[in-house]
Each structure stands twice: as C-alpha cells, then as structure tokens.
Amino acid sequence: MKTVLKYLLPFKYKMSAGLTIKVIGTVVELFLPYILSHILKNVVVDKSVSKILFWGLIMIICAIVACLCNIWANRMAAKVSRDFSENVRRDLFDKTLRLSAAKTDKFTIPSLESRITTDTYHVHNFVGMIQRMGVRAPILIIGGVAITLIMDSYLALAMIIALPFIFVSVYLISKKGTPLYAKVQSSIDKMIRIVREDIQGIRVIKALSKNEYEHKRYDKSNKALVKDETKAGTVMNSVNPIMTLLMNVCIVAVIALSANRVANHQSDPETVIAFMQYFTQISMSMMFVSRMFVMFTKCSASAGRIAEVLNCENDIKVESKENYPNINTNAHISFKNVCFGYTPKYKNLKNINFELKKGGRLGIIGATGSGKSTVIKLLLRFYDVNEGGIYINGEDIRTLTPETLYKKFGTAMQYDFIYNDTILENIRFGRDISEKDVFKAAEIAQAADFINSFPDGFEHLLSQNGTNVSGGQKQRILISRALAAKPEILILDDSSSALDYKTDANLRQALAENLANTTVVTVAQRVSSVKDSDLILVLENGEIIGAGDHDYLLSNCAEYKEISDSQMGGAFVE
C-alpha cells in the first residue's frame, strides 16, 4: 500500500478539501435525528405551528446542506481517484515498456496486461470508496454512539457491546482475503494468456478445426478462476451476514430494553425514536465499513502486484568503462567469447566469436533452435551475456546508453507487429522521418510497387497486425520501417521468409546498391538469403560449426553444403 500512498501524495490538498466538505455534510446529517427528537419532545407539546414550521425548516436546510456537501465531496473524490489511477496506469505502462526482456519473461505478458487493467481498477475503486465513506462512516459511528450515550447511556451500552465483536470479525476475515484475491489475480493472468494465444492464432485454430479443443482449454482455466473467486467471495462475503446478525441482535436488545424503560418512565418514546434512527445510521455505516474492508483486501493484493512491477529494478544497466573497457579493433561489430543461457542450467550460446567490418554483410544460418535469434537479442542487448563481451566500434555495448545503442539499429523481425494505421505511419513509426525517406525505404524494400497499387497508396489503412495484406507484403513494410531511419546497422531476422526468390534476390541487390556503408546482419533459413554475405556463421546447438563466405563453406562445412544442396540442389537461381 506504500505505492498507493506515494501516488496519492500529490492530491493531498484536493483530498483534504474534499474530506473537509464530507465532514461538514456528515456532521450536519448527524444532527437530524436529534432535531427530530427535540421537535417531538419540546416543540409539539407547545402546539405552536410557527415553532413546528421553524424547526421543520431547520431540518430541511440541514438535509439540503448534507446532500449538497456529500455530492460536492463525492465529485471531488471521483476526480482524485480518476487522476490517481491515470497516473498509476501511465507509469505502469511506461515501466512495462522499459522492462528488460528477462523481466518481461518473468512477469509474462498476460500478467502485465492484467496488472495494467484489472489491478489498477481495484485500486481505483478503493481510493474512490475510501474518500466517500472513509470519513463519513467513522463520523456517523462515533458521533452516533456519542449522542446516544448522552441521550440514554443504558440503551447505548446494549449497542456498543456488539461493536468489538464486529471489528474483530471483520479484521480476521479481511486478513485471510488478501492472499485469496492475489490467487484470483493469478488465475486471471492464466485465463488472459489463453485468450491472447487463441486470438492471435484464431486462423490456425479454424484451419485445423480445433475450436472445441481450445474451448475446453479455456473452460478449464475459466473454471479454475471461478473456483478461486468463489472461495475468496465466500470468505469475504461472510462479513455482511455476521455483521447483520450482530446488529439485529443489538436491535432486538435495544427494543426490549427501551420498552421496559418507557413503561417504567425511565425514558420516553421521543428518545427511543431518535435512538433508533441513530442506530440505523450506525448500522448502515458498519455495513459500509465491511464493504471497505472487502475492497481493501482486493486493493491490497492488486497494489502489491502493481508495486512489484513499478519497483522492479532494471537489470540492464549502463556500466562504466572501467569495468568494461574499450578494445582495440577495426571491426564494427565484435563478439568475444560470448556465452549465454536463458536459464542458469543450460547455455543457449557457447563461445561465439566473430568480427565484422563496417559496411560488411553477416549471414547467420542454422536449424530451428540453433541460437540464431539469440545472437540478435544479445547484439540488441535485450539480454546481457553471461560471459564474454559484445562490442560496437570497440565499445562494450554494456557501456552505451539505451538511446545511443538503439539509435544505431534498424531491425525487422519475422514476428514484428503492424498496428491499425496507414502504411506511411507504420513505416514512420512515430519517428521524425520525412515522406521522402519513407518512400525511398519502401523502394529499397521492394514494397513501393504494391503500396502504390492501392488506390490511396501510402495512406492505405492497415488492420491490426496487418491481416489485410499478405505475409510477404507485411514483411516488406517491416523492412521499410527498419530502413527508413538510415540505420548504422541493419538487422533482418528471418524477415524475408515469406518473400519469393525473385523478390528476395531483388531486395538483396537493392540493399547492396543503396546501403554500401551500412552493416547488414541477416538471419535466415534460406542459403540464398545469406550466400552473398562477407561472413556466414553456421550455428548448431548454440555453437559455430562453420564460418566463412559461401564458397568456403561449400568446401569446408558439410552441414552448410547439405543445407545448400537440399534447398537448391546445389545451384542458385536468381
């Protein structure tokens, strides 16, 4: 809850003003039953219509003041909770974008989505409720008890004796609720993950007629969520029945005692009427207190999950050159004895060594799972190496700021995303890039022809994830995006897999003609996509089993020759 308090601190003056107005309205409302008792006891007996009208007008004014104050305070509370939750969501989203790949893997995307949505919603509701009822309910309870003690302490004690039992019950039940609601949020994460997977793979599901299978998988997670929600709801919803039982017992006791006291002339009906009104106020306030405790348990669980992300330390830090000094090299990109594993028990890359001069062409080829994309992730510093070092112009990438490092790259990956906007904006991607540079990038990427074939050209609207263009067209748009900012290093990670051989050949030729000073790193399954590279790495189980140009590897690397022969029968057709 420290995180909630930190975000509420900027609103302390607005909250103070709202709570002050709420106090005024509640105190005025608290005097209504007392005024009614005074009218019945002291005014009616005089049979003065003017006095009755006067005190009646006082009650109406008090009721209006209480109503207006409550409305005003509630509107202020709504604004504070709205702005508070907006700030939390903004910072949580910003932190999510800045998490390292390792931290994102740890939290998982579905969990981060539910923290930004469901968890912030729970915290938002509690902040609003605590401002509306956090002051009103205690004042009505404490004020009502104080006034009833003054009016008839004997009857008041019959009611007060139940309050400790109510508070203890609420506290013990709420203490159990926090871990239960944390488990509910975990189940929501799992269900979101399945929904997310199914939405992304809906075409495959339909093509393979696996609707029923996916429905069963979703139904299983849904039932698990229902089970957790039922358990949490059963525990927390027991607060209201317990409180109602105790309050009803008190009401029965008060009515029995008041009847006896009125009969023995120890009290009067007017006092009993006012007393019962105060008792109703106290009962309603206690019900609101129980609701606040239920919401507090949800808020506490959600606030903990939000704080876990917000307080997460960045494990990708800018290191000092004293710890990671520059090396003396003429190479643009250097990998020195690089070892890496996503988990401590298994190394995905082992002793990767190579150098690439500026403007050079590097090709990386190998079977699925051989570590090709992992090399790219390390070069982009999505993860830090476990051993060795990666250098750009002799500088260890761990000593470069993210802004400096990422500005060097233009990257197109096989599963990059397209968002719902025009082709122009998808290529520009929010960067300060002129239309001229966008058009040139599309021309190099072999995308200009099909884009211009649309009636609205570059203003053609793409659907989410680019479902209204073909796979090859989508990849060419993504390559255009990578080229548009004229990067120092261009990375094509299996980004031409959907292109036909002719288009792929034209793309490679255009890159060679227009990007002579740009270092190009190409990851591919096709030999034809990397064969013109200055250096080709053949990976297998995270190790380099062959390194050299195309002709050298054909003669000295059996695995590379086997891939070449299987794909092209030993010949290349341009």
What does the H/E/C string look like for 389-445?
EEEECCEEHHHCCHHHHHCCEEEEECCCCCCCCEHHHHHHCCCCCCHHHHHHHHHHC
Share of the chain above pLDDT 70, in %: 95
Q: How confident is the model over 473-495, as pLDDT tens digits?
A: 888 899 999 898 889 999 988 87
Q: How confident is the model over 435-486, as pLDDT tens digits?
A: 899 999 999 988 898 889 989 888 998 887 778 888 888 888 999 998 988 8
Statement to judge: residues 253 and 212 lie in one domain: yes
User: What confidence category does residue 174 fall into, taking pLDDT thresholds of 50, 70 and 90?
Assistant: low
CB neighbour class for 260 (10 Å; exposed up to 12, middle 13-18, buried from 19) = exposed
Split into its structural domains, the chain has a count of 2
Statement to judge: residues 338 and 303 lie in one domain: no
Statement to judge: residues 330 and 293 lie in one domain: no
CB 80 within 8 A of CB 21: no
Statement to judge: residues 202 and 256 lie in one domain: yes
Model pLDDT, residue 397: 92
Per-residue pLDDT for 568 more than 70? no
* Domain containing residue 547: CATH number: 3.40.50.300
CB 460 within 8 A of CB 511: no
Model pLDDT, residue 490: 92
Q: How confident is the model over 212-233, as pLDDT tens digits?
A: 777 788 888 888 888 887 887 7
Count of Cβ atoms closer than 10 Å to residue 450 Cβ: 17
Statement to judge: residues 70 and 151 lie in one domain: yes
Decide which of 276, 310, 344 is a domain's last residue.
310
Statement to judge: residues 306 and 320 lie in one domain: no
Residue with the bigger pLDDT between 524 and 155: it is 524
The number of angstroms, rounded, from the C-alpha of 415 to the middle of its chain's C-alpha atoms is 21
- Range 287-304 average pLDDT: 77
For 398, the domain range is 316-408+526-565
User: What confidence category does residue 571 fall into, taking pLDDT thresholds of 50, 70 and 90?
Assistant: very low
Statement to judge: residues 403 and 326 lie in one domain: yes
Residue 75 lies in a domain: yes
pTM, two decimal places: 0.69
Residue 77, phi then psi, degrees to nearest 5: -65, -40
Mean of pLDDT over the chain: 83
Q: Are strands 489-493 and 409-413 parallel, antiparallel or unpaired?
A: parallel
Secondary-structure breakdown of the chain: helix, strand, coil percentages, each rounded to the nearest 5 = 65, 10, 25
CA 556, CA 564: separation in Å to the nearest integer?
A: 13
Residue 470 lies in a domain: no
CA 105, CA 552: separation in Å to the nearest integer?
A: 39
Statement to judge: residues 148 and 244 lie in one domain: yes
Q: How confident is the model over 347-361, as pLDDT tens digits?
A: 889 999 999 999 999
Which range, of 42-46, 82-86, 356-360, averages the lowest pLDDT? Answer: 42-46
* Domain containing residue 85: CATH number: 1.20.1560.10
Residue 466 lies in a domain: no
